[in-house]
């Protein structure tokens, strides 16, 4: 069974048909740059470009980098334009895609669902926290496999700042930090703070940095929870979006 998944990020919009039996992309993903400012109309145009690239005509699952309530309404928009707030994304994207059925889900929740079903969290009980490091920091919290939606732990306070402003992948690049410095001085304190609040058994580290986990994970010490890279890496959001569109 194939369903289309789209992952909206602060820097790029990427998508592909997903094989839900295998939990992997059925074709190589297509990516366009996220417009700046990332307004609803501009982002919707980007989503349409990605879907049209494949000539897709079925259901579409779409992630959004913020809180999504009632399966459609955007409540926060930290890394896109504020005009997204209170937008019914399902209606907007459905109309832009010519009436295709659209499902909208928080981006990290989608990545987490995919990792728990097909990836590093498969079969794991207790508290598992999936963290995606990219333009911001997304989070998905699971208790015995059940998602606690829209946690947005990237906005916890860290050193007097929004945590994602200190510890995201973008923060590493913006401040020209090497991998070890970022891991020791930014990521480790953030994980310690989240661990203090939630006492998880497992952290799964996703987002684009998961492809380079060997460069930073070995430098993170003093965390009691197990820490592993996401197995689906940066495709987890696409897979999770498709899963949600299929009702999983």
Q: What is the mean pLDDT of each run of 10 residues along the chain (248 residues)?
A: 96 97 97 97 98 98 96 92 97 98 97 98 97 95 97 94 95 97 98 98 95 96 97 95 95
CATH superfamily of 2-106: ATPase, nucleotide binding domain (3.30.420.40)
pLDDT of residue 159: 87
**How is residue 49 written in tokens?**
């470009």
CA neighbor of 242 nearest in space, from 79, 73, 56: 56
pLDDT of residue 194: 98
Encode burial over 15-25: b for 16+ CB neighbours within 10 A, e otherwise. Answer: bbbbbbeebeb
Peptide bond before 37: cis, by omega within 30 degrees of 0? yes
pLDDT of residue 71: 82
CA neighbor of 236 nearest in space, from 43, 19, 9, 24: 24
- Give the DSSP per-residue string, 9-73: -SSEEEEEEEETTTTEESS--EEEEPPSS--HHHHHHHHHHHHHHTT--S-EEEEESS-EETTTE
pLDDT of residue 96: 98
- Do domains 2-106 and 120-230 share one topology? The answer is yes
SS3 197: helix
Residues shown for the chain: 248
pTM: 0.94
User: Could you tell me if 169 and 176 are in contact, meaning their C-beta atoms sit under 8 angstroms apart?
Assistant: no
SS3 239: helix
pLDDT of residue 23: 95
CATH fold for the domain made of 120-230: Nucleotidyltransferase; domain 5 (3.30.420)
Domain boundaries along the sequence of the chain: 2-106, 120-230
How are beta strands 202-206 and 127-133 bridged, if at all? parallel
pLDDT of residue 201: 98
């Amino acid at each position: 069974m194939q369903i289309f998944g789209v992952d909206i990020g602060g820097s790029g919009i990427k998508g592909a048909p997903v094989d839900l039996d295998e939990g992997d992309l059925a074709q190589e993903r297509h990516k366009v740059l996220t417009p700046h400012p990332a307004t609803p109309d501009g982002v919707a145009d980007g989503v349409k470009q990605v879907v049209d690239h494949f000539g897709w005509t079925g259901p579409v699952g779409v992630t959004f980098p913020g809180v999504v309530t009632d399966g459609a309404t955007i409540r926060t928009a930290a890394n896109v334009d504020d005009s997204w707030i209170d937008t019914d994304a399902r209606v907007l994207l459905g109309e832009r895609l010519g009436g295709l059925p659209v499902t909208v889900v928080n981006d990290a929740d989608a990545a987490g669902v995919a990792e728990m079903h097909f990836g590093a969290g498969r079969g794991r009980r207790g508290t598992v926290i999936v963290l995606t490091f990219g333009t911001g920091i997304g989070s998905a919290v699971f208790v015995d496999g059940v998602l606690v939606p829209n946690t947005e732990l990237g906005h916890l306070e860290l050193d007097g700042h929004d945590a994602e402003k200190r510890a995201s992948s973008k923060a590493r690049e913006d401040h020209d930090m090497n991998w070890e410095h970022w891991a020791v001085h930014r990521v480790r304190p953030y994980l310690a703070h989240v661990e203090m609040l939630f006492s998880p058994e497992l952290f799964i580290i996703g987002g684009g940095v998961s492809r380079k986990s060997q460069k930073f994970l070995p430098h993170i010490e003093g965390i009691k929870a197990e820490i592993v890279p996401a197995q689906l890496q940066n495709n987890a959001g696409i897979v999770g979006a498709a899963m949600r569109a299929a009702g999983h």
